[in-house]
Structure 1
């Protein structure tokens, strides 16, 4: 299943879109768009696909999506029944990264928001007290905000999210050819090397050499920087690419395993289940259904 580009209709002369959608069911095509999107599910249930993440969604979900991240909210089958009178409601904020000008989010004061939007390229689920605060502000924005107050509420919403620790990343590192760039050349070189070479056998010595470190020093360095071992990261990248290939449904599972760097099908199945809590065949079926 290929993600399709979706054109977002602008809200006349406003810097960002803030709207209420009330529909029989949500937009059902796997798609992406350059706009960053914050979605609150007010009413409705189903399955949420964000990158290679598959989770159930329900009333109250609050999700932040970065630019060009493929996604879809698929309502349960009952919403599509001929006699269904069910409705869904969502509150949505959408905006381009340059909505306030090309350099606005480059300002020193905007550093936190810029980091948040970079993290959002993997999709973020917002939880707890943060979610409750944001929902209150979204309601204010939708009901009566105008002029400067509208922009102030927008910035306040994303500042709260940026400062929160009640956030869960959804998609894996490897899904979009994207990764979090740290402020050192060494980690960037290792990420670039891994994303270009993951489909072959990689020895830990090679990765250490790319970082210009001994193997023990590299292992400590990578774990301290990323909170995971290099092998864990490599496996995530491989499974992320495998998920995309499974979604596109063009090759056999064995072919996909091999092309993503797994030379043993049982190892691929085991690694996939460990990261996705289901086997590759079930994952493919979930997207096709």
Structure 2
């Protein structure tokens, strides 16, 4: 490989022009002597920078909502939510995916995080992996992306080849594609069904997109996974009723949820949860509708939410 080209064979001058156009790579002119500031001023300035992110996300809320509705429809039909990214963006996708099973008791295979470089890249930088466009396509092929799936590509710059390759493969497979970037007119957005571009401007440390860009992507991911699960009936009001009680804290939380919804005492909640196999929804139906564990479980299975189950019991 020539030093005048990158791993994709493109001339370096083309890459320089691409990066020059990215706000996430620009240098904030008022921070040129940042390294001379007192620590108290530095943390204050970082906080000011971070406060700009929610306003930037607010500008794209209609796009986020539209993507969520389409994702939820496909998941309701049996599809998966698949995040794909490299570096910080990839790790954020893996984190969001890994938190869905304990929070919403969704099968781990239904929300998937794919990162360039594989498992190693979650903890250790595998920098060249993001340039592997074919690797992105191969990663989607490896998990058998289908037309029912939704693939969310994450890239602060909006030009990561691994993500572009993954989205291109997903489109060819008929999957829903969503591009989440922090620059306008992103490469990953070209051809995507939904394009969410949160423009946060220059970073506190120029080019360090784990900062504002990372925060923006995390906020969008929070919305995508959380609101999708709300649409899928995983909550009752703003209460988690499908959490997976895998430790003592979560078991107590489950009891408190049952107590809150039904008004029962702690021992009644604990007994109902035990009788209902640990399911909050089954326990609630047993207590409020005087159902057997079997009948309550059957009603949960046939209903699209606890609210619907309660209305039909």
Question: What TM-score results when the alignment is normalised by the length of structure 2?
Answer: 0.25
More strand by share: 1
User: Between Structure 1 and Structure 2, which shows a larger proportion of helix residues?
Assistant: 2
Compare relative contact order (CA 8 Å, sep 6+) and give the higher one, 1 or 2: 2
Given the two structures, how large is their TM-score scaled by the length of structure 1? 0.26
Whichever of the two has the greater Rg, that structure is 2
